[in-house]
A and B are shown apart, each in its own frame.
Chain A
Amino acid sequence: MTELIVRVNGTEQKLDVDPEMPLLWALRDVIGLTGTKYGCGQALCGACVVHLNGEVVRSCVTPVSRAAGGSVVTIEGLSPDGNHPLQRAWVELGVPQCGFCQAGQIMTAAALLAKKPRPTDAEIDESLAGNLCRCGTYPRIRAAVRKAAGNASGA
């Protein structure tokens, strides 16, 4: 065990864990942030997506040691009170069904919008290609990303 320091949602966390432990379990089991979900453990579904130093990572396959000294943002830290444009668009358009994959979808889309404020539908699809939703909310996810981007047509 080694003590690792990771900034999570702006708060410094000292973690005394196996450095090989995936970041997902450090977030969920050690720090207690359960908004980030486990869906596959093999970077196949995107339910575990968080931002590490501003980039999308699949926390289920990211050793916590890789986050040492870095800054992690989870769904709980995306906005101060749930008012990120994506979160607002998600609620207004009734995107979620069961909701389980949605944190990963939103975090992935947030990273996309940070880089490409007005993505096309093709760019949205490409960005979210690694995020599964078994309920099938994909059409509304596209619409909500467009809405948050102020780009209703998706062209």
Chain B
Amino acid sequence: MMSPLPGRPAPRVAKSESPPKRTEDREHTESAIVIPRRSFLAALGLTVGTLAVGFETLAPAEARAATAAGGPVIAPQLPKGDGGTTPNVFVHIAPDGTVSIVCHRSEMGQGIRSSLPVLIADELGADMAKVKIIQGDADEIYGDQNTDGSHSVRGEGYDGARKAGAAARMMLIAAAAKKWNVAASACEARDHAVVLRSSSSSARSLGFGELAVLAAKLPPPKPKDIVLRPKSELRRAGGPLPLLDGPDIVTGRAIYGADMRLPGMLTAVVARPPVVGGKVERYDAARAKAIAGVKRIVDMPALPSGPPKFHPLGGVAVVADNTWAAMRGRDALDITWTAGDNGSYDSARYRDALLASVRAPGNPVRKVGDVDGALAKAARKVEAEYHVPHLSQAPMEPPAAVARVDANGCEVWACSQDPQTARKEVASALGIDEKRVTIHVTFLGGGFGRKSKPDFIVEAALVARAAGVPVRLVWTREDDVRHGYFHSTCTQRIAAGLDERGKVVGWLHRTAFPSIESTFAPDKTFGGDGELAQGVLDWPLAIPNVRAEVCEARAHVRIGWMRSVHNINHAFAISSFIDEIAHARGQDPREVLLEVIGPPRIMGLKELGAAKVRNYGASLEEHPVDAGRLRRVVERVTEMANWAGYQNARKGAKTAATERAFGLAAHRSFLTYVAVVAAVTKDAAGKIRVDEAWMAADAGTILNPDRVKSQLEGAFVFGMSVALHGAITARAGAVEQSNFRDYPVTRIGEVPRNIHVELIANDGLPGGVGEPGVPPVAPAITNAVFALTGKRVRELPLARAGLVT
């Protein structure tokens, strides 16, 4: 059974005690700026009576558990008072047998609600028909909830979920063992019951519900004592899992950010300065108020000077009876703006500045051997420059949030990827204690990184406070396209030296892009460590002399994460350039790609030539840069596509090859390895059509294969938008695009009939899934375009070169 998400208007969750704080133990590395993460496992350790006994929070989990053993578990959202068992904040077993499981990550299409809770239930031995999934509110008690960086299952997600389920299973087994006076080891939990292994009689089976009250009297196991099942006993994980929210989605019952309705609620839209840092000079409030249904005009606080962070951009809010009236009222404001310091930003000129930047030496960040010597001695040099424009995440659901603010605090429903940061930002903007802010997470109509930024949620809270009634604040599509946190535009230059036989002996890679760090800290004019670890520092090059440099670039718009982030830019340049080397040598691009990757081996910091590699927050010991895994996805995807057959046909019959051509690219990101082959054709007008695609991915252990496949299919379509269509440009500081008319994304008719996806069997640690499919897509397509037309596309999108309709 599924509970609606996130629930219709509900009584405020009382939060009379402060959530525990603890030392931060993981860095939010792929996001460039270091935002600390608390771990899922730490959350499990925190659950045992910490609050009830006023336990102080910085002690190790085990000490807390020992001190508090036997105390009640403080589980803010799980059922209370029914006498059932609550081993931790993620699981509750009621006396009627209902198992409630919290999904603490945001659902934005990756299928996490159909994955993590199922793994918890699987480890527990629960029947999914008796499981109720509860969407987690913003609460540090759950550990990290920031749903970005393809983070929910990799890292601690997989084992964390298993431990949450295992703790519950152990308590139920302990209760049954006590009742039967047998050893716990003689019992097992399956099919929603604990059974005695040796017994075939049904008398030796007790349902979870029958054990819930007795188990509640037993102490939860300490985190170090939690024992997982043998993997072979997991019945669902790794198998075909149903899409649990499917029925709610296809009937319109699923609740998204703008779908919440509260009594007395009004709707608001905000007119924001066209230029970041711009201000309102004057506007006509009377005209706006004359629109029927307009209730209030609210001046938004201007963006403070300095980095934009997650602050709202300022401007003027119009609050009305309904969305239509609010939009018409906004149109009537007739605002005169001042532009401020960013008013001279022109993305075309900026592109030239980035090009100048990469034509001069930058700061070296990766160094192996002697590149200058190798390039000087090379028999032949290949050089190329690449450019990717700003992009907008453009989720189908524009940002939206519902807020009510009263003397008790603030309660919000929002489509947030990062509810804990939203909670902090709302508390800070309202000047109230964080414990007085509740954030309920709705379904997200896509996120792609946009909804990691809670600026729109802060706006909702500010306007609700000013209006004195609950307010739903919605962004129009124009707001979304014009006022986003944009994907970082990037220019790169790569030079390679080849020896007499064509082998690459030197590789000089320069990259210049406005850093995401500039959104959070002043004077960040160079890409940061976490950003460079997205393809620049960690690409496993089998080249004896390598240097990578980061070159200066100052930001003039808000820069933010977009699905796979800088990997889009770096994979485009690197995978294009390897293809250029192959064509310069007149060789099969597959052979050259495998040569550049080199033999199967682990690349440590020394081999990579980097002082450190952030590695998406994971250790290089657990998740090394593994050239063998990258080779394997290349080998597999080219088998799938019959690359050899294509190459033979190309050699044999020139005409056939000019009608349909293949392109290949591979990239490691978010600890997962993906290779893509794209086949392209062109029509009579010379317009490119992507005809077929093959993707091979090695993402380690897979929890939900169908959702992983759907993420990869979707990544191909998302990557097509990057390759074919997307470009955000700015003139006089203002974004020139406004809607899907001038910011087109992939439509159904452009998508190949077949996107073949294969997951390479691997029982290693899980890698990320939501993002890693995207980076190799654009270069696979542009490499195919070169093979088909002889035209090398070094600047995205293809539409810019008139190659698509």
Contact = CB atoms under 8 A, between A and B. Distances in A.
A117 interface: no
Given A34-B255, A41-B476, A98 B395 contact: yes
Contact of B246 (A37, A94, A134): A94
Contact of B741 (A29, A32, A44, A141): A44
A91 B249 CA distance: 9
Contact of B396 (A21, A74, A124, A133): A133
A44 B739 contact: yes
Contacts of B716: 136
B448 interface: yes
Contacts of B218: none
A51 to B, nearest CB: 13
B396 A47 contact: yes
A136 B721 CA distance: 10
Contacts of A38: 258, 323, 398, 474
Given A98-B444, A99-B249, A121-B753, A131 B109 contact: no
B775 to A, nearest CB: 15
A138 B745 CA distance: 13
B595 interface: no
Instruction: Tell me whether chain B's interface is mostly helix, strand or loop, or mixed.
Output: loop
Contacts of B108: 98
Interface in A73-95: 74-76, 78, 82, 86-87, 90-91, 94-95
Interface string A107-126: 00000000000000100111
A30 interface: yes
Nearest to B243: A94
A32 to B, nearest CB: 6
A35 B714 contact: no
A40 interface: yes
A42 B477 CA distance: 9
B745 A134 contact: yes
Contact of A138 (B242, B249, B444, B751): B751
A128 interface: yes
A78 B446 CA distance: 24
Interface residues of A, number: 61
B247 interface: yes
Given A32-B261, A90-B246, A96-B250, A39 B718 contact: no
Interface residues of B, number: 68
B416 to A, nearest CB: 14
B710 A37 contact: no
Contacts of B267: 29
A135 interface: yes
B319 to A, nearest CB: 13
B778 to A, nearest CB: 14
Contacts of A28: 258, 323
B755 A96 contact: no
B127 interface: no
Contacts of A91: 242-243, 246-247, 250
B250 A100 contact: no
Contacts of A30: 322
Contacts of A137: 710, 713-714
A126 to B, nearest CB: 7
B245 A99 contact: yes
A101 B252 contact: no
Interface in A122-154: 124-126, 128-129, 131-142
Contact of B746 (A95, A103, A126, A136): A136
Interface of A: 1, 17-18, 21-22, 25, 28-30, 32-42, 44-45, 47, 74-76, 78, 82, 86-87, 90-91, 94-103, 106, 121, 124-126, 128-129, 131-142
16 contacts: A40-B477, A44-B477, A94-B242, A96-B109, A96-B243, A96-B249, A96-B250, A98-B397, A98-B446, A100-B446, A101-B396, A125-B749, A128-B748, A132-B740, A135-B714, A136-B751
